[in-house]
Chain A
Amino acid sequence: MANEASRHVVIVGASLAGLRTAEELRAAGFEGAITLVGKETHLPYDRPPLSKQVLTGARSAADVTLRGQADLDQLDVQLLLGRTATSVDHECVVLDNVDAVPYSDLVVATGVAARGLANQPSSDNVHVLRTLDDSIRLRDHLSRAGSLLVVGAGFIGAEVAAVARQQGLDVTMVEALAAPFARALGTQVGARCRQLHEDHGVRIVTDARVSSFVSSASGATLRLADGTALEADCVLVGVGTTTNQHWLSGVGLAGGSGVPCDTTGRVEGHRNVFAVGDVASWQNKTFGSPHRVEHWTNAVEQAHVLAHNLLDAPPPRSNHEVPYFWSDQYRTKLQLVGRPDLADTADLVELPGRPGRLLGMYFRSSRLVAAVTFNAPAVLARLRPLVATMTNEEAARATAAELVGIAA
């Protein structure tokens, strides 16, 4: 490897994963050049508030900036905002089809984009939510709308539904599957989440097949295969994401869902290409198969590990192998560790003490692969190591029983 001072790390994607990678490289003592390229014109900002505090107005656009200009200056990175990486080869990244930026090491941190529906009309009344601009547009629309239709019962849809109910809108949620939230939480816990929303007055339509989706001057109408017509002033489509990796065809990484990496972020088959955050699919020793995780702390922990790897330093301890996610809906803080998608059974129990505290555990072949809590972070934190070792059901239940008395 070239000596450090002559290295030039080019990080593409100037959001959480990209920024944290730059910071971790500097914290680890890297003195070479770092360029951070981002398509958006905003300073790097945080996404979780976009479906929460930004929509309620509790935080402004400026409040979600991850680092101020002074912090970025101090970091000594060349920040190229409003620039899109359009292609790449083994030596250079090309920006906006014209400028070639040579790299010694490339870090792919381009995240994901919101997917729309195939027949989704392009209209000011129909929204997706991924960027700060999306969030501001949705916030402004919710403040003057009387009704909201959420297409897709996932976390983003659930959080937006919660904000809209708190603002007094009529809210309907439409889901293609029989059980809402099942993709992320499984059917049992998904059902409890459904109840939370129904308790707050959200109407939930499941098994929905969309036959047409049209917009009008005042809103939009979704027709379902069974003839139901759902109209609303404002529609949010939250049906998942696609990875931003099409620009990587020059290095053979444009295909598939996620950039395949080893356990420390180096791209398979490449010496000097790395990937981090929502776009990256890292090998996972705990669960044994590569996996892409679209969670906030995953990007942070991966950046921490990757920076050491890039500098050939020993890998630091990190919890990134066991995914962790939180979601805020109404006054409920839902937190999840592990991989519910791997489970073959799951159950959910009420915890003693304050109402609204729940614990769910997910097992695969009688081993703990995930756990979720509603309003009980301390309980979940102590179950996390048991998920990391896929503890057997009996031992996991015994530990959970001991923990149940713990104050959240």
Chain B
Amino acid sequence: MKVQAGLDTCEGYANCVMAAPDVFSIDDEGVVVVLDEQPAEEQRSTVEEAVRSCPVLALTIVEG
């Protein structure tokens, strides 16, 4: 699983950080930072929650 974040789409809600703090962070400008671009399979449900909880749909999971 690979995680992609649309930096132009991100509005800094930080809901992804709430769902998966080991995978996402927010920088001082309020833009998402992907801490772990290839999270382990055990992280799947939290990463999926992060994707769901982004109000502007800035996050995607790419399989493979």
Of residues 38 through 62 on chain B, the ones whose CB sits less than 8 Å from some CB of chain A are 45, 49, 52-53, 55
A297 engages B14 (CB within 8 Å):
no
A301 engages B14 (CB within 8 Å):
no
Verify if A300 is at the interface (C-beta below 8 Å from B).
Answer: yes
Verify if A30 is at the interface (C-beta below 8 Å from B).
Answer: no
Residues of B contacting A377 with CB < 8 Å? Answer: 14, 17-18, 21, 26
Residues of A contacting B12 with CB < 8 Å? Answer: 333
Of residues 283 through 311 on chain A, the ones whose CB sits less than 8 Å from some CB of chain B are 296-297, 300-301, 304
Of residues 306 through 329 on chain A, the ones whose CB sits less than 8 Å from some CB of chain B are 316-319, 324, 326
Total count of chain B residues near the partner, CB < 8 A: 18
What is the 8 Å Cβ interface bit string for chain B, positions 1-36, against chain A (1 contact, 0 not)? 000000000011111011101000110101000000
A301 engages B13 (CB within 8 Å):
no
B52 engages A326 (CB within 8 Å):
no
A408 engages B26 (CB within 8 Å):
yes
Residues of A contacting B18 with CB < 8 Å? Answer: 297, 324, 335, 337, 377, 380-381, 384
Verify if A48 is at the interface (C-beta below 8 Å from B).
Answer: yes
Verify if A268 is at the interface (C-beta below 8 Å from B).
Answer: no
Residues of B contacting A318 with CB < 8 Å? Answer: 49
Distance, CA A384 to CA B19, complexed state (A): 9
B45 engages A317 (CB within 8 Å):
yes
Residue of B nearest to A406 (CB): B21
Residue of A nearest to B18 (CB): A381
Least Cβ–Cβ distance between A106 and chain B, in angstroms: 24
Verify if A378 is at the interface (C-beta below 8 Å from B).
Answer: yes
Least Cβ–Cβ distance between A334 and chain B, in angstroms: 11
A326 engages B13 (CB within 8 Å):
yes
Residues of B contacting A297 with CB < 8 Å? Answer: 15, 18, 53
B25 engages A378 (CB within 8 Å):
yes
Least Cβ–Cβ distance between A338 and chain B, in angstroms: 12
Least Cβ–Cβ distance between A16 and chain B, in angstroms: 9
Distance, CA A407 to CA B33, complexed state (A): 12
B52 engages A335 (CB within 8 Å):
no
Residues of A contacting B17 with CB < 8 Å? Answer: 377-378, 381
A-B contacts, 17 listed (Cβ < 8 Å): A46-B55, A48-B55, A296-B55, A316-B45, A317-B45, A319-B19, A319-B49, A326-B13, A333-B14, A335-B14, A354-B28, A377-B14, A377-B17, A377-B18, A378-B21, A381-B21, A407-B25
